[in-house]
Structure 1
C-alpha cells in the first residue's frame, strides 16, 4: 500500500512531463490551457491578455521575479501600439517592437515552463507556433555589501550577494579579460538552480575543468539551496574532518585564485563561492596577507601557525602533563596548580570536557541570537560562568585560562570551516591525552598527519607544496615573499603556463 502511494506522485510527474514535451501550438488557447493546468494553484503566476495587431496574445510571468515597470514600458506599451496584421511575425516583434535587450524563441512547452520559473517573461501570439522569451528579471535583491565572515582592515569592501549575475559581474570587474570563461549549468530536478563554473582559459588545466563539469553533471538531487550541497557532493573525501574546497564571500579572493589556475563555482541563491583545488595552507591565509607589506604578512602567518597549534593541542597537553607527567611542570607552577585543584572533585579530563563543551555552547548561542544580544551573551556568559564555576569548586582557575586561550586561538584561523575542524579534533586528542598521556597525543598527531598526507583535492595533494616538496612554491606558504619575487604560479595548479605575465 505504501509503495503504491509513493509511486503515484512519480506517475503524475511523468504524465506532466509528457504533456509539456510537445511543440508550442499555433493555437493560443491550446497553449494557455496546458500552461494553466501546469501552474494550477500558483497564485503568483500572472497571465496578461492583450492584442498584437488583430491577433489575441498573452504575456505570462511570475510576479516578484520580474521588473514590472520594464515589462510595462518595453513590452506591453509597445505591443499595444499600432501594428499591421502582416507585421505580426517573430522577427518583426523581436527587431522592431519589443525593446528589451535579450529576446529568444522557444518551440517546446517544456522550455517555456523552465523559462517562466527562471524569472523570464513569455509572449504567446495566436497563429505563431513559437513563444517569445525575453529577460525582464527584477524583484527584490540584496545590494552589494561588506562580507560578514571575512572582514579585513585593508582591502575591498564588496562581497558577493545571492544574485549569481551580480556575482559574475563583480569578478568581471576584477578580471577584464576575454580569457575568463563561464560555463552555466542547472542542478536539481525541482529547484533547477543555476550553477556557474569559472576559470581562466590557458591558466586552468583543461583536465581539471572537465573533472569539475563531470562531477557536477553526475549530481542527482531534487534541490540545491546553497553551495554547501555542491561542496559535499563533489569533494574527494566527504567523510574527512578537513574541508577540501575553499569557500569565500570575497570577489578579490576568487579573482586571485582564478589567476593562479584554479576553478571557481558560483551557485545562485548564496553569497558563498567555491574554489578548487585547495590545499591545507590556503585555509591559514587571509586576503589581507597580500595587501599589507610582506614583513607584516609573515608575522601574522607565523602567529596563526602558533595559535592553530594552541587551539588543537593546549587542552590535551594540560590534561596529559597534569595527570601523567607532573615532573615536567616547574615546581612553583606545580604547587599553584595542585593548590587550585585541591577541592576539584573531577579529574583533569572531565574538568576540561565540562569547560570545552560549555564554551562551545556559549559560542553557538552567541551566533544564533540576534547580534546585539548574542555578543553580550557570549562574552558575559563566559566570564560569569567561568568565575562562578571556579568559586563553586567545579573547575580550577588554570583550566579556565586554558579554555579561554584555546577559544581565542581558534578565532585567529581565517577560514571558519577549517577553524571548526580544528575545534572538533581537539576532543579526540583530549580523550587520548586522558587515557595515555603524551603518548596518546603523539598517536593522535600521527593519525592526523597521515590522514592529511592521504587527502586530495581534485587530484592535488592536500599538503602540497610541502608534501610532496616543491621548493619554489614555498615562497607563499610559511612566508609571503615580496611581490617582485612572486613571478610564478603554483606548480600544483598550473604546470604549462607557470610564469606570471607581469614578470620581466
Structure 2
C-alpha cells in the first residue's frame, strides 16, 4: 500500500484529515495566519494541552506584524530553524506519520504551500497518579508504582537508572490499535544477541490487541504448553531497575502498569526488595518459609488424601479415629470432598477479586464463613478436609507470582493421589520436577542458580549473606551461560 504523502495544498491535507477524523468528537482543527501564511493547527482534544499550545503558537501568531508575509516554505524554515518556537526537530511528511504524532498527544502545524508539518510536544494526557502498587507489598524502599502511561513509566525508570547505558526503545506494535510499547535494557549488561532476538520477535509479533505486556509471551516463548512461565511481572520501578542492572530485559506497554521482565528464574519468585533491607538471618528465614509454603500449597492436599485413603496406618490412632468419625457423617468420599472444597475456595477468591473493591473483601470473608459452617452443619463436608484446604489456600498467597502453576499443580496432585494413591503422588512429584526442569527462556534455565552462581546456597539463594559481602562482585543473568560456553 502506497504511503500518502502530505500535499502542498492546505485544503487537500485538511480534506484528507476530515475524511479520517471529521466525525470524531475529539478531532480539533484551528485555522490561523502565521507570518501572513495561512495554516492550521490539528490535534486531539484531551490529549494535547490547548493552554500550552496557545502559549507556544496561537498567542504569537496574533501578535505578528501585518507587514510580514512569508510563503509556506519560508514560514516552515523560519519556525523550524530561525524562531524561538520549541518545535520538534523531526517534521511529518506523510499521513501515517501525522496520525502517529496526533495519537501520541502532539499538535501539528500545517502550512499552505508546504508539504511538511511542524510538530509541537504539548501533550496533556490524563493518567493515574504514581501510587504504591496494591499487589506488591513492601515494608521498606520506594513507594512508587508504574502508571498506565508509557512515557511516565519510562521516566520513572530513567530517574532510578541514571546512566548512559540505559536504553529505552519505543515502537508501535502491529495491532489494530497501533499500541506503543518499549524494550528497556542496559547495553553494557544485557546480552546483545538476546536484545536483537527479542527486538526482532516484538517487531514481528502480530497480536490482535495489545493491552498488557503479557500478550507478547506466546511470541517470546513459543512451543508446547508449560506450567511455569520463565517471565516475571512487576509494577514497581525499583524492582524493574534492579532487574535491568542484572542484565535482564524489561518490556512496557502503553496502557498497562505491569512490566514484563525476561528472563526470570524460579528462585526469584521467593525474593522481594525487603530481603536486602533486612538482616541476612531474617531474610534467609523468610525465604525458607516461602519455599515451605509453596510446596505445602502444592502437595499437602494430595498427601492428606493419599495417606488418609490409601495409607491410614501411617496416621496416629487419635487423628485417624477423628478423621474416620468425620468422614462417616459425609456422603462424599474424602477424595471428592477435597476437590470440591478446593474448587469452592477458588470460586470465592475469583468472586472477591472481580467484585467492586469496597465489597470484595466482605463477600470473600462472609462467603467462606457461611459456606464452611453450613457445609459442616449439613454434613456435606468434614472439618479435617476444610482445615487442610484452607491452609493451602492461604499458603499460596505467600508466593503470588506462582499462584497459577501452584493452583493447577494442587488440583492435579489431588486427582492423581486420590486415583492412584502413592504411585499417583509420586507421579505428580516427578511431573512437577519435569515441568520445572524443562523450562527455559532465551537460553537461561528456569532453575539456573540465582545471583552469584559460585555458591548459590550460601550467598544469595535459599539463604543469603550480608549485603556488603554480596556487593563485592556483581551478578549478570548471562554469566552462568557464558561460563558454560567458555568451558565447552
- For the aligned pair, the TM-score class normalised by the smaller chain equals over 0.9
Structure 1 residue 496, shift from structure 2 partner: 10
Contact residue 45 and residue 62 of structure 1 kept, 8 A: yes
**Does residue 285 of the first structure (1) align with residue 271 of the second (2)?**
yes
Q: 1:64 to 1:217 in 2, by over 3 A?
A: same
1:444-483: per-residue Cα shift (whole Å, max 9, x none)? 11012112111111110111128xx944344222112211
Matches within 5 A, 1:413-424: 413-415=399-401, 418-424=402-408
* 2:384 matched residue in structure 1: 398
Alignment of 1:242-281 (within 5 A): 242-281=228-267
For structure 2, list consecutive stretches of 5 or more residues without a partner in the other structure. Answer: 484-488
| Distance of 1:155 and 1:80 partners within structure 2 | 51
| Residue aligning to 1:311 | 297
* Structure-1 separation of matches of 2:41 and 2:476: 54
Cα pair distance change 1:403/1:189, threshold 3 Å: closer
Give the stretch that moved more between structures: 249-258 or 166-175.
Answer: 166-175
> Structure 1 stretch 79-88 or stretch 441-450: which is displaced more?
79-88
The residue that corresponds to 1:428 in the other structure is 412
Q: TM-score, normalised by structure 1?
A: 0.90
Separation of aligned partners in 2, 1:77 and 1:195: 35
Task: Indicate which of 209, 213, 216 corresponds to 1:223.
Answer: 209
Q: In the alignment, is the contact (CA less than 8 A) between 1:433 and 1:440 conserved in 2? A: yes
Which stretches in structure 1 are left out of the alignment for 5+ residues? 1-16, 499-504
After TM superposition, the structure 1 stretch with the greater mean CA deviation from structure 2, 183-192 or 303-312, is: 183-192
What is the aligned partner in structure 1 of residue 56 from structure 2?
Answer: 74
- 2:486 is aligned to none
Q: Distance in 2 between matches of 1:230 and 1:287?
A: 26
**SS at the partner of 2:195?**
helix
Per the TM alignment, residue 100 of structure 1 is displaced from its structure 2 partner at its CA by 3.4
Q: Indicate which of 114, 122, 125 corresponds to 1:136.
A: 122
Aligned to 1:448: 432
Q: CA RMSD in A?
A: 2.0
1:29 partner SS: helix
Pair 1:41-2:18 in alignment: no
The counterpart of 1:150, out of the listed 129, 136, 160, is 136
Once residues 153 and 401 of structure 1 are traced to their aligned partners in structure 2, the CA distance between those partners, rounded to angstroms, is 30
Give 1:8's aligned residue: none
Question: Paired residues, what number?
Answer: 476
Aligned to 2:45: 63
Partner Cα separation in structure 1 for residue 101 and residue 358 of structure 2: 42
The verdict on how the C-alpha distance between 1:471 and 1:482 changes in structure 2, with shifts beyond 3 A counting, is: same
Residues 73 and 247 of structure 1, relative CA distance in 2, 3 Å threshold = same
- State the SS of the aligned residue for 2:114: coil
Listed as ranges, the matches of 1:85-104 within 5 Å are: 85-86=69-70, 88-95=74-81, 97=83, 99-100=85-86, 102-104=88-90
Separation in 2, partners of 1:323, 1:434: 8
TM-score, structure 2 normalization: 0.93
- Which residue of 1 is the match for residue 32 of structure 2? 50
* 2:478 pairs with 1:493: yes
Deviation, structure 1 residue 295: 1.4
Q: Choose the corresponding residue for 1:369, options 355, 364, 371.
A: 355
State the 1:420 CA deviation. 2.0
> Counterpart in 1 of 2:465?
481
Show the 5 A alignment for 1:16-27.
18=2, 21-27=3-9
258-267 vs 225-234, which deviates more? 225-234
The residue matched to 2:91 in structure 1 has which SS? strand
Secondary structure of 1:472's match? coil
